[in-house]
Chains A and B, each alone.
Chain A
């Protein structure tokens, strides 16, 4: 493909006399408040905007979960109606996955760290980056607004399986809530796509001189692969959402079969296939799990290397594992559908292929633990979170063995075992990764350090609370407790259901810990001790520029990479470290 290399014909490119070349410094950033903090093109500001959005949305997402956890722990007190229950469960899932975890980790920390770690002045397309944020914001607002339309918010589960989501008379939230849900998701997909295109273009093309692919920090690898997975997966969901919207409002029958009778009323639909939607949904849905989890694992690799004072174990094989995860991740979606009515032979295939994916994940796990071997560990707050992540990713991954086995899934499908498992993976792993990243890169956001004491209180409440909650939920699932129940009355489930008050109490503990983080975040941003250029003695490129980096990231020329990203344990006593751009 031939591309013209002549650039800059539009208006602002007019004064090309100002300078060219990679190493140019820019000391004149935007000056007005709006252009600096609101409609900013600066990746660092956009990253912080995403983080703030995620923190805001987490109050709603977590608040909803406290509300329905109260109902589950102490039923019969009119805490909420069953209609509210299903829509709160649905919205909790949607908000937490797309507007908290994805927004904070993929978008927030990714925006902040990617250009800094690869030695670029900004993203490849700063305007697109800004638009990406200003598209997710209305998506979040529409999602919130759906609580206030007739019938309330969508209540069909975050998986919006038809016919429940395709028929507008099946539940109150299906009237308008699901439509708004789909619109908000459409905007989210647009936003994710813009961000993802930016990530890929930036990582592939704007790396500092000397940074070959195998010299990229593992975080960057994880973001790159997660982004590619998302970009290839989301079109499937887009197609499914278009067909679902047409079924809801266009009178079509893509997913609506013949012979439907809803509340005694025969429907006119003919011939659709509800299972098709599930296939399309999970074709995205499963890679989406890796989109969320991989960046967290990447952050853990970086943080552990820094505070263990040694390079990560077997960097190369971690990278290969990530590539294998990406490939296998696209062909295992059916393990979400073992009992959906899918052909049993397909079930067997998906079971076998899904268990294969334990291989690359096990390599990542072994390498995470192995990175501590002969280390000299410093127990800072980010390191604590990263170590917590290692435990969580192991425990959660092991739970996956149960669910990937189709025969065992006959018992576990749609029980609290699934709930506990995916919360460990895309709740605890992602959030410990996010927190490790926030504590670690805080100097690069605000030029200050976060408070370590508060950080440790935050760590211990989070880790004790969440581990207890989700481990007990695994037990409940073993006991056959079905998920998405407003209250329990089946005899066989009562022993498992009796653990609910304990789960709720631990959830409150974990929630209280997040308030400590909230205070720490804002207090430290304004009043925390000033951070130097490289407070952690880390080696990657973001630590070669002042904290916080100015407009353009490096005051002088861009760094030139001369070695591996993890130059730890150097020198005669093994206590030295070598910056990635060291000239030696």
Chain B
């Protein structure tokens, strides 16, 4: 049974190739995610031309969250740079900031709900809830990957983790600017 584990295969592949494969995968996932957010952006720009469009003010907390996620990109970079020795600590910090961001997003939702803005209330609100949820799913995927990286200590492919994390951060800034100013 032991030999059925995929790892027995991976040993037959030169380690560099395995890393390359992971890098290819990450590259395409980033491209796919960019396509996804581009599609939503296009839909948003088409939809906002409609007569019923009425923008709503976003809670200030959104910008606090934005700051959090930007900060997490910085910690991610540090984790990638310092490598073996201090990496786990910085990975943990990144995970923490990511989780904090998600909690913050839940509070943003709550504030909106308290104001009476639900997913079906207005098209702007629909997009807000949908895009934050889709983005949160991407962030959650990033956190899951980082948890694995944390467990692997300094030997995880932090480069691809960072690529995904920066994508998620960049996507959030993009989404936030789109929702706030367009």
A41, B3: Cβ atoms closer than 8 Å: no
Taking CB atoms, residues of chain B closer than 8 Å to A202 are 21
Partner of B134, one of A13, A124, A242: A242
A22 vs B13: C-alpha distance in the bound complex, in angstroms?
Answer: 5
A9, B18: Cβ atoms closer than 8 Å: no
A18 vs B4: C-alpha distance in the bound complex, in angstroms?
Answer: 15
Shortest Cβ gap from B174 to chain A (Å): 14
Check A12/B19 contact, CB under 8 A, given A251-B120, A252-B126: no
Check A206/B21 contact, CB under 8 A, given A121-B13, A276-B46: yes
Shortest Cβ gap from A309 to chain B (Å): 34
Shortest Cβ gap from A116 to chain B (Å): 14
Question: Could you tell me which residues of chain B, from 121 to 164, have a CB within 8 Å of some CB in chain A?
Answer: 123, 126, 130, 134, 152-160, 162-163
Taking CB atoms, residues of chain B closer than 8 Å to A41 are 4-6, 9
A77 at the interface (CB under 8 A from B): no
Check A4/B28 contact, CB under 8 A, given A35-B4, A235-B35, A243-B130: no
Shortest Cβ gap from B60 to chain A (Å): 25
A342 at the interface (CB under 8 A from B): no
Bits for B15-36, please: 1 = Cβ < 8 Å to A, else 0.
1111111111100110111011
A19 at the interface (CB under 8 A from B): yes
B50, A205: Cβ atoms closer than 8 Å: no
Taking CB atoms, residues of chain A closer than 8 Å to B158 are 2-4
A21 at the interface (CB under 8 A from B): yes
A239, B24: Cβ atoms closer than 8 Å: no
Shortest Cβ gap from A272 to chain B (Å): 7
Q: Which residue of B lies closest to A126 (CB)?
A: B6
- Of the four ranges (under 10, 10 to 19, 20 to 34, 35 or more), the interface on chain B belongs to 35 or more
A5, B19: Cβ atoms closer than 8 Å: yes
A234 vs B10: C-alpha distance in the bound complex, in angstroms?
Answer: 29
B9, A122: Cβ atoms closer than 8 Å: yes
A35, B155: Cβ atoms closer than 8 Å: no
A196 vs B27: C-alpha distance in the bound complex, in angstroms?
Answer: 13
Shortest Cβ gap from A550 to chain B (Å): 12
Bits for A234-262, please: 1 = Cβ < 8 Å to B, else 0.
11101110110010001111100010000
Q: Which residue of A lies closest to B48 (CB)?
A: A271
A20 vs B155: C-alpha distance in the bound complex, in angstroms?
Answer: 18
Taking CB atoms, residues of chain A closer than 8 Å to B10 are 7-8, 13
A30, B153: Cβ atoms closer than 8 Å: no
Question: Could you tell me which residues of chain A, from 23 to 50, have a CB within 8 Å of some CB in chain B?
Answer: 24, 26, 28-32, 35-36, 40-41
A271, B157: Cβ atoms closer than 8 Å: no
Q: Which residue of B lies closest to A27 (CB)?
A: B3
B: residues with CB less than 8 A from A are 1-25, 28-29, 31-33, 35-36, 39-40, 43, 46-47, 50-53, 80, 83, 119-120, 123, 126, 130, 134, 152-160, 162-163
Known: A7-B155, A31-B1, A250-B119. 13 other contacts (CB 8 A): A1-B159, A3-B22, A8-B10, A9-B152, A12-B8, A26-B8, A29-B4, A36-B4, A235-B39, A239-B43, A251-B120, A252-B119, A271-B52
8 A-B pairs within 8 Å (CB atoms) are namely A3-B160, A18-B8, A36-B4, A124-B25, A205-B21, A232-B31, A272-B47, A276-B43
